[in-house]
Structure 1
Amino acid sequence: MPIQDPHLPPPGLVVHADWSLHPAKRWMAAAVLRDGRYSVLAPEPVGEPSTFLERMRERAAPGAGVFAGFDFPIGLPARYARLAGIDEFLPLLPRLGEGEWSGFYEVAERPEQVSARRPFYPRRPGGAALRHLLDALGLGSADELLRECERGYPGRPPASPLFWTIGPGQVGKAAISGWRDLLAPALRGSGPDVAVWPFDGALRELLRSREITVAETYPAEFYRRLGLKPGSKRNREDRRANAPILKEWAGRLGARLTPQMSAAVEDGFGPGASGEDPFDAAVGLLGMLAVALGHLPPGDPPDPQVRRVEGWILGSPPREGAREASAPPAEYDPLADLYDREYAHDHDVPFWLALAGREGGPVVEWGAGTGRIAVPLAGAGHDVAAVELSEAMAARGRKKGGAVQWVVGDMRGARLGRAFRLAVCAFNSFLCLLSVEDALAFLRNAREHLVPGGLLGVEVSAFAPEELADPPGGATLRHDLTRKTPEGRLERFSVSRYDAASQLLEMRLFYELYGESGELESRRAHDLTIRVTGRDELLLMLRLAGFEVEAVYGGFEGEPFTAASDHLIVLARRS
């Protein structure tokens, strides 16, 4: 198969390294260009970091470029860079660990040792708290230690702050190793010509003109873009379940899997949890090939500060620096045509109608979908605005008629230009906010859009512990619902996995649509992630955002909230 994008020269070697904390767990996967097609080699250990790039250059054909990806951060948070007086990251990188920056890589053991020149903390867990790091650096929140590309959006939670070095999500120690042992020696020495994207320029130009181009990767970013199924990458069967998708992508890219790589893919990359690192190496490699061959955009960031200081994750959609410009992709667009068939109920509508009648208007619904609640509210004579992230959902809502003011936007930052007496965030829209920071951003934005004393109603599902626990043997496919419609029948199945540490519930939904005569017309799958929020956490966030909680219900008849409740409904007033 010919190269897809003639304007983006194919590198002679594409390699992705999964940069685990422990050297023995670092694996790489590579693809070599031969006769116009890539041969994808089986994963292998990374080996000595300081010679890695030189070894990769030697593997490529003479005169051919190398495209190397690493899944550790490459860049600094802009807020930290300002307080440390750093204007550019790349010229600084070879100097870190030397001179005035000699203590940079020494992880602080105590909070009083933390400074702008020694920002990594803590060396060990005992009594350490993220608050210690923030206070030592004079920062107000962990959000200030995130780069723009690390902020969360639906389907991907935010990253752990760069300088935090403990816990399962930490990236600090991987950054130390990657910068100190691999990138700095390459930039400092007299070896191969190394460029780092996006600091040195746009990806196409770097691949065209430089010997080695290095990029930051994040395999989870490619999970979504390649359509991989959710599950635990530590589970061999979950990895094996993705074999058809990985092979399909290799075929789409015109790449040949070597027999060893094909066997590894089909085998789930070996037994137990040890296969997760080779798996991520392979996923990252296929994502890089998709970018190199023009199937996915590289995501060259337009923001000069990002290009000078923060860096970017390969393949991540560029965002313009401002918070409003970092709106997540409209994950619900693909479900817009199914939404009204899937959710035809209206048993909750009388509750919101009664509330609107009591409070008066105007009314705003945040995360309005296709207007299942907003349209009846407008039909009852209320002045209603509906905010929805998905343009496709909003378009269907407009077709339902009614005097609803539709606003396509992110409820964390959308500005409507007027104040409301009642705000509604119902039917799990609140759970689509995948971090506490995003939830608080929404609640504060909702408060700003209420008149003094205005009321906010939030309704979410109340999950019982047994609903979130995996059954014996791991996650299984279950049948969720059947919906009969004039067009035929809709069946939905799902596989889900809950991570108690992040409170994220990852789901893969499978839809089957049948015609009037019962014949199967189509199948589709969709990935969806929500963050499970309990009563006490929601009440605390409301208070932090400037609300006074007025009532808590467990159902739409005003039932008390109990452990057996299916719904959690909280009413809170702007204080």
Structure 2
Amino acid sequence: MKKMDVDRLIFYDGDIYDAYLASPCLFDTDHTTEIDRVFWRERVKECGDPVLEIGCGTGRVSIPLMEAGFSVVGVDFSQSMLAQARKKTDRVEWIQEDARTFNLERKFACILAPYYVLSYFHELDDLEAILKNCKTHLKSNGKLILDIPYFSPQFWREFFENMGLVENLREFVHPRTGEKIDTKFDQEYDFERQIYSEIIIYHFPNGKVVSDRLEHRIYFPQEIKAILKYNGFRVDRCFGNYDSTPFQENSPHHILVCSHWES
């Protein structure tokens, strides 16, 4: 992943992103409720201050953590997303950096990578660079908490049943132009590369149609545990959803709480 890959997507235009996620969705989503934010707050309570969020976007997680009394730093390499976050508050330290290379010269009790942030990095070298960077920035007893995509057997059944079916997703109002934009959803999976693509198709009132392709690298449960192990992390706990239930076969999420090995 390169910086330009995010900057060219409509989805990662900061104020469009917020308007899009605030609109009613055809599919159930945790991002329209409070349950996910409660989950992250509880995990951070177990770790303490300070907190670093990688891929903080427009502040959906960082800002509630700050409001709960934590000292929070948010890192993202999208200038547009951070600009939107800064409009909301200056009480979080917003930093524009690449997750693979940032150097804040300080350590954190908790580092969060919510909402599939790491899945946007498709190459093993990139993932290992991020893990090395996280290890450098963690206190000796600190925790790294990763939320990565998990596709259950139930997901795959539905995926194959609906293959080739483009579905209505949501309608939202463009925050700068006031246009109503209709969006549709398609999906693809590259089995060789383990890349799942979410395709968002934007239909503008003037007839213009634009597509975003959000590509996620899928790490299977034992695969990600092995990668973490050989990069100096042990997995302490696994959650399968934001209600804190344990990870299991048909969980909608795979959230791993990790400690780094002492050198």
TM over 0.5: yes
Q: 1:459 to 1:499 in 2, by over 3 A?
A: same
- TM-score after normalising by structure 2: 0.83
For 1:517-536, list aligned pairs within 5 A.
523-536=209-222
AA in 1 matched with 2:199? R
CA distance in 1, matches of 2:163, 2:252: 24
Q: 1:498 to 1:398 in 2, by over 3 A?
A: same
Letter paired with 2:195: L
State the Cα deviation string for residues 511-542 of structure 1 (Å, max 9, x = none).
246xxxxx779753222211112221221121
Residue of structure 1 equivalent to 2:25: none
Distance in 2 (alpha carbons) for counterparts of 1:572 and 1:432: 20
Structure-2 residue corresponding to 1:331:
6
* Alignment partners' CA distance in 1, 2:179 and 2:45: 37
CA drift at 1:392: 0.7
Give the match's secondary structure for 1:458.
strand
**1:545 and 2:231 equivalent?**
yes
Contact 1:378 1:402 in 2 (8 A): no
* Contact kept in structure 2, 1:378 and 1:404, CA below 8 Å: yes
Instruction: Report the secondary structure of 1:452's partner residue.
Output: strand
Change (3 A) 1:569 1:482: farther
Native 8 Å contact 2:35 2:243 kept in 1: no
Deviation per residue, 1:419-457 (Å, 9 max, x gap): 100000001111101122211211111111101110011
TM-score w.r.t. structure 1 length?
0.40
Equivalent residue, structure 2, for 1:500: 191
| Residue 559 (structure 1) aligned to one of 233, 239, 245 | 245
Which structure shows the bigger proportion of residues in strand conformation? 2
Corresponding residue number in structure 1 for 2:201? 510
Describe the SS at the equivalent of 2:105: coil
Matched position secondary structure for 2:6: coil
Equivalent in the alignment of 1:238? none
After superposition, where does 1:72-83 map in structure 2 within 5 Å? Answer: none
Q: Distance in 1 between matches of 2:43 and 2:111?
A: 10
Superposed structure 1 runs of 4+ greater than 6 Å apart: 484-488, 519-522
Cα distance in 2, alignment partners of residues 440 and 354 from structure 1: 27
* Closer, same or farther: CA 521–423 of 1 in aligned 2, 3 Å: farther
- Tell me whether 1:476 sits opposite 2:165 in the alignment: yes
Match runs of 1:13-162 below 5 Å: 153=1
Q: Kindly tell me: are residues 387 and 473 of structure 1, through their superposed partners in 2, closer, same or farther at Cα, counting changes over 3 Å?
A: closer
Residues 153 and 250, structure 2, Cα contact 8 Å, conserved in 1: no
The Cα shift of 1:568 comes to: 0.8
Q: CA deviation at 1:496?
A: 2.3
Task: State how far apart, in whole Å, the 2-side matches of 1:563 and 1:481 are.
Answer: 29
Aligned counterpart for 2:52 among listed residues 364, 368, 372: 364
In the TM superposition, residue 402 of structure 1 has moved relative to its aligned partner by: 4.0
2:186, 2:59 → 1: CA distance? Answer: 27
Superposition deviation, residue 388 in structure 1? 0.6
Q: 8 Å contact 2:72–2:92 — kept in the other structure?
A: yes
Give 3-state SS (helix, strand or coil) of 2:99's partner.
Answer: coil
Q: How many angstroms does 1:347 deviate by? A: 2.3
Cα pair distance change 1:426/1:407, threshold 3 Å: same
Q: For 1:110-157, what per-residue CA distance to the aligned partner results, in whole angstroms no more than 9, with x for missing partners?
A: xxxxxxxxxxxxxxxxxxxxxxxxxxxxxxxxxxxxxxxxxxx2xxxx
Residue identity matched to 1:574: H
The secondary structure found in structure 1 opposite 2:116 is coil
Letter in 2 for 1:347: I
**In structure 2, do the counterparts of structure 1 residues 536 and 482 end up closer, same or farther at CA, with 3 Å as the change threshold?**
farther
In the alignment, structure 1 segments of 5+ residues that lack a partner are 1-152, 154-326, 514-518
Match of 1:390 among 56, 78, 84: 78
Deviation of 1:353 (Å) = 1.1
Distance 1:498 1:550, change over 3 A: same
Higher RCO (Cα < 8 Å, 6 or more apart): 2
**Is the Cα–Cα contact under 8 Å of residues 240 and 255 in structure 2 kept in the other structure?**
yes
Q: Distance in 1 between matches of 2:180 and 2:156?
A: 28
- 8 Å contact kept, 1:460–1:569: yes
1:340 maps to which of 13, 18, 27 = 18
How far residue 482 of structure 1 moved from its aligned partner, in angstroms, is 4.9
Percent identity over the alignment is 26
Counterpart of 2:19, as a letter, is: R
Aligned equivalents of 1:409, 1:548: Cα separation in 2:
26
Residues 363 and 384 in structure 1, CA contact (< 8 A), matched pair in contact too: yes
Distance 1:391 1:413 in 2: 16
Tell me the distance in 2 between the aligned counterparts of 1:498 and 1:438: 21
* Partner amino acid, structure 1, of 2:249: A
Alpha-carbon separation, structure 2, partners of 1:431 and 1:407 = 21
Answer with 1 or 2: which has the greater Rg: 1
Which residue type is aligned with residue 571 of structure 1? Answer: V
Unaligned runs of 5+ in 2: 23-31
Q: Does the CA contact (< 8 Å) of 1:364 and 1:422 recur in 2?
A: yes
Note the 1:69-468 alignment, pairs <5 A: 153=1, 327-332=2-7, 334-335=10-11, 336=13, 337-344=15-22, 345=32, 346-465=34-153, 467=155
Per-residue deviation, residues 180-211 of structure 1 (Å, max 9, x unmatched)? xxxxxxxxxxxxxxxxxxxxxxxxxxxxxxxx
